[in-house]
Amino acid sequence: MAWTLSWLQSWDAIWEPEHLARWQAAVAEPEAGAGAGVVHASPFMHPGVVRAWLESTGGPDAWAPFFLHARHADGQAVLWLLVRPRAQWRTGFVRRLVPAGAELFDYHDPVVIPVHAPGAVLAPGFWQALEVALRQHEGAWFDVCTLSRIRPACCSDGAFPTPGGSAPILRLDRYPGFDAYLASRRRTIAGLNRKWAKHAAEGLRFHAHHPSETEAVLGWLPDLEAARGARYPGSGLPPGYLARLVAAGHGQGLIRASTLTLDGRPISWDLSFYLNRVFYGYMRAFDAAFFRLSPGRLHSYRTIEWLYAEGAHTFDFLLGSEDYKSDWTDGEEITVRSRAIRSRALTTRSRQYARQGLGMLNLTHPAVPPVVVAAK
């Protein structure tokens, strides 16, 4: 077989310093020069980001790890972390295997180095080899393995039939600079330079935090979360999640943070990722009391100007088709896809029957807590 697959199933082994260093190096942007590898990765498979998620959602006791190391005969390497949430009686102890990050991560792609070819990141046969390897353990490792939010460059072989949302993106390098980009926008965006000048005269400022300013970023995170929660009720984050992200990645430049202030008072906050010259807009909120100033638009305006100065080539707005994103992009988007591998083992059938029985019990005895999916 062209692919060789092996697994780590211990958090201690995954966080072992030598393994951690190899993982981090695989995600990082390769150095320029002859023979440099080309990486396909998202910040969501960075070890610091994964660890922040893990520690905020129950820790090692809540998730069993299945860390994949795969290598193709041509030398391509794939790293990927799948996890299994702790089974619960209310789900009939059904075992679900999913990529790390659940709903908090927009992309669940594996790390691939080097890429196979433009438009086809993986060498042929990876998904088939993965399914063969997984089916050797069906029923024991999983009852259903859900591979979700995979970007098209990693699933171009048609093995992922289910669409799972789209992410608008802006190719910054299609324009020679910020002024040319701004001139190409419709009037409401192109005119933001005048709006910014007006409010700047009234004390409005944009500040992109230097990696040395981690403590300052940690200081305003509660304001971001409060403003986000007020605008999107029910969208709360796991306690400590954003703080762990900042602690893990801001000093290294993986996390980029910025604010808008008015006369020294913060009114808009942004916390995003920056990897391999791609900016991933992750968490943003503004103080609704200053809605008349259009803080969201002005923050995007100054962020894109800043990204041109940084040498970024892409702004990825991540999943969600909110109307405001189309103002900044040229209509291009990434559609993620998913698939499910279902176990055919007898042990799986018994757990499924148990789950169905619990579902019937819930219907006839409402006092019993309803069945929920443990992977959420």
Q: 92, 129 in Cβ contact below 8 A?
A: no
CA distances from 205 to 138, 194, 208, 271 (A): 56, 14, 10, 17
Mean pLDDT on 336-354: 84
Mean pLDDT on 112-135: 91
How deeply is 324 buried, as exposed, middle or buried, from its count of CB atoms within 10 A (0-12, 13-18, 19+)? exposed
* Beta pairing class for 96-99 and 77-85: antiparallel
The residue ranking higher by pLDDT, 353 or 331, is 331
Is the pLDDT at 104 greater than 70? The verdict is yes
The gap from C-alpha 56 to its chain's centroid, in whole angstroms, comes to 15
Q: Measured between alpha carbons, how far is 116 from 76 in angstroms, rounded to an integer?
A: 8
User: For the ranges 54-68, 176-190, 261-275, 343-357, which has the lowest average pLDDT?
Assistant: 343-357
Q: pLDDT over 90 for what percent of the chain?
A: 78
Mean pLDDT on 22-37: 70
Mean pLDDT on 159-172: 93
> DSSP letter at 161?
-
In tens, the pLDDT along 227-258 reads 999 988 888 899 999 999 999 999 999 999 99
pLDDT of residue 33: 40
The residue ranking higher by pLDDT, 130 or 29, is 130
User: For the ranges 5-14, 108-117, 346-355, which has the lowest average pLDDT?
Assistant: 346-355
pLDDT of residue 354: 61
pLDDT band at residue 375 using 50, 70 and 90 as cut-offs: very low
pLDDT of residue 364: 47
In tens, the pLDDT along 180-234 reads 999 999 888 999 999 999 999 999 999 999 999 999 999 999 999 999 999 888 8
CA distances from 368 to 89, 352, 354, 356, 372 (A): 12, 18, 15, 14, 12
Give yes or no for a cis peptide into 114 (omega within 30° of 0): yes
Q: pLDDT over 70 for what percent of the chain?
A: 89
Q: Measured between alpha carbons, how far is 171 from 137 in angstroms, rounded to an integer?
A: 42
Is the pLDDT at 267 greater than 90? The verdict is yes
pLDDT of residue 361: 44
Q: 66, 82 in Cβ contact below 8 A?
A: yes
How deeply is 63 buried, as exposed, middle or buried, from its count of CB atoms within 10 A (0-12, 13-18, 19+)? buried
In tens, the pLDDT along 36-55 reads 567 899 999 999 999 999 99
Average pLDDT over the chain, rounded to an integer: 89
pLDDT band at residue 308 using 50, 70 and 90 as cut-offs: very high
pLDDT of residue 373: 35
pTM (2 d.p.): 0.90
